[in-house]
A = this chain, B = another copy of it.
């Protein structure tokens, strides 16, 4: 069994952004993602409106450079106008013999 270190990126956003965000993460290099419905409550920061209601949580496991591109895209394009939070952390991913 071989473990490799990758980044798990988590994006929590208003449900209306689901399609756009899923297209973004794939275009920026993710080979896959999961998308889960979540209730939530949040604030975007000092100047942002509160939001409460249906959110989605998109998660993908990617190489570090892909994680960087996804987080930068979110900060550049979405943060000013939408309720979005995003973060990442290291995970140890198991690869089968066939993929090593």
Q: Which positions in A face B, CB cutoff 8 Å? A: 1, 3, 6, 8, 10, 12, 22, 26, 31-47, 55, 57, 61, 68, 71-72, 74-76, 79-80, 85-99
Contact = CB atoms under 8 A, between A and B. Distances in A.
A6 to B, nearest CB: 7
Contacts of A79: 95-96, 98-99
Contacts of A99: 44-46, 79
Contacts of A89: 8, 89-92
A8 B43 contact: no
Contact of A34 (B34, B40, B93): B40
Contacts of A44: 99
